[in-house]
Amino acid sequence: MYHFETKIRTCYADVDQMGYVYYGNYPKFYEIARTETIRSLGMSYKEIEDRGVMMPVIEIGIKYKRAAHYDELLSVHTFVKEMPQGVKMTFFHEVYNEKGELLNEGFVTLAFMRSSDHHPCRVPGFLKELLAPHFSRTEME
């Protein structure tokens, strides 16, 4: 399993009239964290695209537990729990406030798609190589 933590401070644009982080902003937080998680492996999302692979979102799930507020420093924990094998990859997210309270949890599943023709493709070998050191042999099969 691979785990990475990203810090995000909420701003006025993130909150609604009640002062809570608007529920629709959590997918944006997930995307920021997912991008930084990939970067932490040693390759940027842009580099993946430059190599001819795009990763559109095909499914998202969110469970709200507590509200986040303006000017809070959030910790978004991103997990890759399984080595991707086929044409998709799932990232799991947990969002915590500064007190360590779990605010939100969810997942985002992305498909691998060739940039050239927009057809599905298998997980690229270069991405599997970056993930491999974080998984045991049995997790990779």
CATH class of the domain whose range is 2-140: alpha beta
pLDDT of residue 74: 98
Distance of CA 4 to the CA centre of its chain: 10
Query: For residue 123, which of 38, 3, 61, 59 has the smallest C-alpha distance?
Result: 38
Which of these is catalytic: 16, 50, 71, 117?
16
pLDDT digit of tens for each residue in the chain (141 aa)?
A: 999 999 999 999 999 999 999 999 999 999 999 999 999 999 999 999 999 999 999 999 999 999 999 999 999 999 999 999 999 999 999 999 999 999 999 999 999 999 999 999 999 999 999 999 999 875 555
* Per-domain residue ranges of the chain: 2-140
Residue carrying structure tokens 């002062």: 19
Q: Known catalytic residue: 71?
A: no
Q: CA angle, corner 101, sides to 99 and 8, nearest 5?
A: 75
